[in-house]
Amino acid sequence: MCLSFAVPIDVANHVKEQIIQHGRVIRSRIGVSIQDVNAQLAESFGLDRPRGALISMVEDGAPGDKGGLKAGDVILSIDGVVIETSSEVPGLIASKKPGSNVQIEVWRDGKTRRVTVKPEQIRDDGERVATTDGGADEAAQLGLVVRPLTAEEKQQAETQGNLLVENVDGPAAAAGVRPGDIILGVNGSPVKSVDELKKAAKKRGGKVVALLVQRNKQQIFIPVRAE
């Protein structure tokens, strides 16, 4: 059985633009947990149909809390963009500039309300797994900069992978690995963390490492010849 997982093109494009403009990816968060609204929930909240993203939890002191969002609110739109399912929210929020005013329309107590939330930057800098400097370990010879995906990003990308490629150079760039790719495995073995990626790269039988990546609507193997 062949499984395929899609990475929305806007996620990949946003990563690319951030790297070009800032040399790294700057992402935002508001500190809420969300879920889809099914028919039963829509009826219980008095919505005309299943739509929006139901907030199940708001972190104390997070931007959502400061802006007045509450558990039980249903997000209907963000800066005028209509929200039909919860999977649309993480990417929209992540793309907002930290500290900017984001207008969120919610359904609360049988009517719509508007709140203003100022997203904050997610402070989880990418871990440099690979450089082309001398003396680097086996994995560092591939030319990759990756970081763990956040839970919101995994939900948005609908992926089982955990590692996002933020930047490439050297062998990885020459082989065709791109910023925005999600690394799923190495040489047929799944990798879930930076350490697992390093270990898998060290175990390669020859000079070529077969990276399984998720890109757009397909999974592809990319052979990378280490220096």
Q: Where are the domains of the chain?
A: 28-121, 125-225
CATH topology of domain 28-121: Pdz3 Domain (2.30.42)
Give 125-225's CATH code, choosing from 3.30.1370.60, 2.30.42.10, 3.40.50.12160, 3.40.190.10: 2.30.42.10
Average confidence (pLDDT) over 14-42: 71
pLDDT above 90 for 127: no
203 or 150, which is more confident?
150
Instruction: Name the nearest CA neighbour of 53 among 18, 88, 24.
Output: 88
Q: What was the pLDDT predicted at 2?
A: 44
Is the separation of the CB atoms in 78 and 102 below 8 Å? yes
Comparing CA positions, the residue from 117, 150, 123, 143 lying closest to residue 201 is 143
**Average pLDDT over every residue of 106-120:** 94
- Tokens matching residue 15: 């990563």
| Domain 125-225 in the same topology as domain 28-121 | yes
Q: What is the pLDDT of residues 162-196, one digit of tens each?
A: 898 887 877 888 888 888 999 988 877 788 888 88
CA distances from 113 to 40, 50, 106, 193, 196 (A): 22, 18, 5, 41, 46
